[in-house]
């Protein structure tokens, strides 16, 4: 497997420059993963398939879905791509490389775990700030236009918020100066995580059912359903920050009520 990966990577570094791989390659990889993972949830919602796993019964209109896609394409071309291009010198300065040999799996795993923890910490506090009255009204309310989220709404936001989210995502790699392959893996995992958190479905195979520290769709969907002053559930990936600072009280209370309702129903039967 390692030799296959190195052969494939050798082809990339032979045929493309570092700038092309780090900027254009990262952009195309992001777009491919984001839209291919997010679009199926639009079709699920329109077709009504797997509706028993849908967290909210309400569906978005086709017009609302199309508006989201149109805005996303605009934001990605006018914000995401320039950010990737202008970030390239910073990453080169911090030690990012694309040459062989590829990093060991232990190095990759350690860096990815560090990125998730750091991003979640920064995101939590930044997200709480975005829910203050002025910032919510002028910036974060764009993201909350969709009270019933679907996968692609994960990156539907005000340009200023996109820049913040970009900072939270790249600060970890900027610190460690990873191999480009590690950066790509981190980007793919982060995209898949945020799409899943906004997908609007809680499946039996959802990661949150097997990893209690992971938030997932059920955790984040609650955040979208409430007014900005009562939202809570601010973290991006994990649940422990909200638990520590008590910003998940409403969510836990709702889960307890649902659990109690199920138990009562069982006794009545």
Classify the C-alpha dihedral 203-207-213-219 as positive or negative.
negative
Q: How many residues does the chain have?
A: 269
Q: Please give the Cα distance from 49 to 255 (Å, whole number).
A: 25
Count: domains in the chain? 1
- The reported pLDDT for the residue numbered 94 is 87
- The reported pLDDT for the residue numbered 264 is 44
Q: 132: which DSSP letter?
A: S
In the block, tokens 């493309």 appear at 16
In the block, tokens 């506090």 appear at 125
- The reported pLDDT for the residue numbered 164 is 87
The per-residue pLDDT string of the chain (269 residues; one tens digit each, 9 = 90 and over) reads 678 999 999 999 999 999 999 999 999 999 999 999 999 999 999 999 999 999 999 999 999 999 999 999 999 999 999 999 998 998 888 899 999 999 999 999 999 999 999 999 999 999 999 999 999 999 999 999 999 999 999 999 999 999 988 889 999 999 999 999 999 999 999 999 999 999 999 999 999 999 999 999 999 999 998 877 678 999 999 999 999 999 999 999 998 998 875 444 444 33
Gyration radius from the chain CA atoms: 20
Q: Range of 94's domain?
A: 2-268
- The reported pLDDT for the residue numbered 21 is 96
- The reported pLDDT for the residue numbered 262 is 46
Determine the 3-state secondary structure of 8 from DSSP: helix
- The reported pLDDT for the residue numbered 90 is 87
In 10 A of CB 140, how many CB atoms?
A: 21
State the first-to-last Cα distance of the chain, in angstroms, to the nearest integer: 55
Rounded to two decimals, what is the model's pTM? 0.94
* Cβ atoms 38, 83 nearer than 8 A: no
């Amino acid at each position: 497997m390692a030799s296959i990966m190195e052969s494939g990577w050798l082809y990339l570094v032979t045929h493309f420059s570092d700038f092309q791989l780090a900027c254009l390659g990262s952009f195309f990889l992001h777009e491919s993963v984001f839209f291919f993972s997010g679009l199926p949830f639009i079709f699920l919602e329109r077709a009504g398939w797997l509706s028993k796993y849908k967290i909210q019964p309400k569906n978005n209109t086709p017009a609302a879905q199309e508006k989201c896609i149109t805005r996303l394409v605009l934001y990605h071309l006018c914000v995401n791509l320039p950010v990737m291009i202008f970030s390239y010198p910073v990453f080169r300065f911090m030690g990012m490389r694309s040459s062989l040999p590829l990093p060991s799996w232990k190095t990759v795993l350690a860096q990815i775990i560090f990125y998730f923890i750091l991003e979640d910490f920064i995101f939590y506090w930044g997200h709480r700030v975005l829910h203050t009255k002025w910032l919510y009204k002028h910036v974060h309310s764009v993201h909350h236009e969709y009270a019933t989220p679907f996968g692609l709404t994960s990156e539907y936001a005000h340009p200023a918020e996109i820049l913040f989210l970009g900072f939270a995502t790249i600060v970890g790699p900027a610190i460690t100066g990873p191999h480009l392959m590690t950066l790509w893996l981190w980007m793919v995992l982060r995209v898949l995580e945020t799409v899943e958190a906004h997908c609007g479905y809680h499946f039996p195979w959802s990661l949150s059912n097997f990893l209690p520290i992971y938030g997932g769709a059920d955790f984040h969907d609650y955040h979208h359903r409430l007014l900005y002053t009562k939202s809570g559930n601010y973290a991006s990936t994990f649940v422990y920050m909200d638990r520590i600072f008590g910003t998940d009280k409403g969510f836990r209370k709702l889960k307890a009520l649902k659990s109690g309702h199920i138990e009562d129903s069982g006794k009545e039967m």
